[in-house]
Amino acid sequence: MSDPQAPGATAPADSPAAAAPPDTPTAKKRAPPRSARRRSREFALQGLYRWLIAGGDGAAAEADVRELDGFDKCDRAHFDALLHGGIEQAAALDAVLVRHVDRKTTLLSPVEHAVLMIGVYELMHCVEIPYRVAINEAVELAKSFGGTDGHKYVNGVLDKCAVELRPEEAQQGRR
């Protein structure tokens, strides 16, 4: 008996996958390509995570991240703003976060903490990015890198931060 999961094995003739043409819903779909901006957030998250764990000035975290595959495809300016801005303004970002989280920021998971730092940084300094986009991007980071339900926590916290940091925009979005 052959293993249907073995490389090169085909699906049995009576299975839905074998009968479905490639453009039907049962066929595997490729994820859309990630934008340069999303990649910059992913790399900044990895750098902030390393910085939260190891400390330092962030140069080592940046050097490590710059060596990762795909770094050349990210929005370098946005990456620099998020990583260096996140590190330089960590106290100010945590001051906003502490008003909306249920524990000290030092007790947060380092992944969720880094995601929240990126979200608050974008809410504070990247006004060209709509607040809903900033929140959604942070939620997507938490889904990809964080714990099982971490994205729900990130969403709730950043929603409260948006009301504080961008009250007019958040108020319009709630109508």
Q: Using alpha carbons, select from 52, 32, 49 the residue that is nearest to residue 41.
A: 49
pLDDT in tens, 38-92: 999 999 999 999 999 998 888 999 999 999 999 999 999 999 999 999 999 999 9
pTM over 0.85: no
Architecture of domain 37-173: Orthogonal Bundle (1.10)
The CA-atom distances, in angstroms, between 146 and each of 38, 151, 152, 170 are 16, 7, 10, 25
Q: Which residue in the block uniquely carries the two structure tokens 């073995």?
A: 6
- Domain locations along the chain: 37-173
Separation of alpha carbons 138 and 155, rounded Å: 8
Separation of alpha carbons 19 and 21, rounded Å: 7
Separation of alpha carbons 12 and 139, rounded Å: 39
SS3 string of 67-91? Answer: CCCCHHHCCHHHHHHHHHHHHHCHH
> What percent of the chain is modeled with pLDDT above 90?
74
Residue 22 has pLDDT above 70, yes or no: no
Q: Say what the pLDDT of residue 134 is.
A: 97
CA 75, distance to chain mean position in Å, is 15
